[in-house]
Amino acid sequence: MENTVLVTGATGVLGREVLERIRRSGVPVRALTRRSRLPEDPGVEWFTGDLVTGAGLDEAVGGVRTVIHCASDVRHFKQDIPALRNLIAAARQAGVEHLVNISIVGVDRIPYPYYQVKLEGERLLEASGLGWSNLRATQFPELLNTAFGVLSRLPVVLVPAGTDCQPVDQGEVADRLVELAMGAPAGRAPDMAGPRVYSMSRLARDWLRAAGRRRPVLAVHVPGRIGSGFRAALTAPDRAVGRRTWEQYLAEKVAR
Ligand SMILES: NC(=O)c1ccc[n+]([C@@H]2O[C@H](COP(=O)([O-])OP(=O)(O)OC[C@H]3O[C@@H](n4cnc5c(N)ncnc54)[C@H](OP(=O)(O)O)[C@@H]3O)[C@@H](O)[C@H]2O)c1
């Protein structure tokens, strides 16, 4: 079987970076989206499909050896579980050899509902009967950019107090996912975090300065186990393997 790779979530922040890297490598690549109007994209075979309903999945997965699963629906995150179940079933049926999954640093220590779903996804992967690799990464700068864009619509930017974050470039995470996909199933890969740890207040102030917006930043204590989980477990300082800094991201993507 030719090594054809399918990327789910290929229109998303991470998935499009993964897709681009595989396209450039010359390995045959497919991309999945729910959109019915498919992009004109030389070197990529696009498929319309919905992981939650299962529509179009068998066609997309048939003949594929490796799947890189970057799809997620944060707004309806509970559906990520039936989505992954459907993907695993279709992959098993098609004889897929390797399913590569992206997860988040701290999902086993922070009882935030979206993270609990990510953790359940990891468990499904482990029990899938497929060859698998799982990479936990810290937050992408693109996510912080979107979050601060929304938060700065208010007169005061609220951030969680005492909470650190270690942004990692989504392109570098894509590099690592592609590296994992091209190798043998690795199980749980070492976590991936960005080069530096920052307080959320500092990230917000940096972003506001780069975006040219004047707002006070107010750090608010988040009570309960979710708050303490975020304070304790969002970073991985011993896994600061990313190179591209938050400052570089701001200079290239946010600064006016
Ligand atoms: N953002 C972060 O900081 C971060 C950090 C660590 C890990 N991660 C993980 O990385 C992954 C990707 O995150 P992201 O920020 O790139 O997400 P994103 O930009 O929101 O993209 C999500 C993608 O999922 C696809 N999708 C959603 N529901 C689908 C469904 N039912 N069927 C098929 N495709 C579906 C969407 O494609 P269409 O709309 O085209 O169908 C979209 O391309 C997630 O698993 C996330 O947990 C994110």
pLDDT in tens, 26-55: 999 999 999 999 988 889 999 999 999 999
For the cut 60, the answer to whether the pLDDT of residue 1 exceeds it is no
- The answer to whether the CB of 189 is under 6 A from ligand 1 is no
Whole-number Å distance, alpha carbon 214 to ligand 1 midpoint, is 31
When pLDDT is cut at 50, 70 and 90, the band that residue 25 belongs to is: very high
Superfamily of chain region 5-254? NAD(P)-binding Rossmann-like Domain (3.40.50.720)
**Is pLDDT above 70 for 147?**
yes
Dihedral through CA 252, CA 254, CA 255, CA 256, nearest 10?
120
Q: Which DSSP helix (H) or strand (E) runs through 137?
A: strand 131-137
| DSSP 8-state assignment for residue 133 | E
Q: How far apart are CA 180 and CA 183, in angstroms?
A: 5
Mutate to test the pocket of ligand 1, among 17, 19, 72 (most ligand atoms within 8 A of CB): 72
Ligand 1 pocket, residue 47 CB under 6 Å? no
**Number of C-alpha atoms within 13 angstroms, CB side, residue 93?**
13
Which atom belonging to ligand 1 lies closest to the Cα atom of 69?
A: 45
256 confidence band (pLDDT: 50, 70, 90): confident
Residue 2: pLDDT band (50, 70, 90) is low
The answer to whether the CB of 32 is under 6 A from ligand 1 is yes
For residue 244, give the 3-state DSSP assignment. Answer: coil
CA distance 100 to 86: 15
Contact 178, 19 (CB under 8 A): no
Quote the mean pLDDT of the chain: 97
- Flag whether pLDDT at 169 surpasses 60: yes
- Residue given tokens 């207040």 in the structure block: 201
How many whole angstroms from 8 Cα to the centroid of ligand 1?
8
CA of 12 to the centre of ligand 1 (A): 5
Percent pLDDT > 70 in the chain is 99
Q: What angle do CA 67, 68, 70 make, to 5 degrees?
A: 135
* 10-36 average pLDDT score: 97
Confidence at residue 40, expressed as pLDDT on a 0 to 100 scale:
87
In one letter, which amino acid is 63?
G
For the cut 70, the answer to whether the pLDDT of residue 69 exceeds it is: yes
Which helix H or strand E contains 232, and what residues bound it?
A: helix 224-233
- In the predicted structure, residue 212 carries a pLDDT above the cut 80: yes
* Nearest Cα residue to atom 47 of ligand 1: 103
Best mutation site among 6, 14, 235 for ligand 1 pocket (most ligand atoms within 8 Å of CB): 14
Q: Is the CB of 125 under 6 A from ligand 1?
A: no
pLDDT at 78 over 90: yes
DSSP-derived secondary structure letter, 190? P
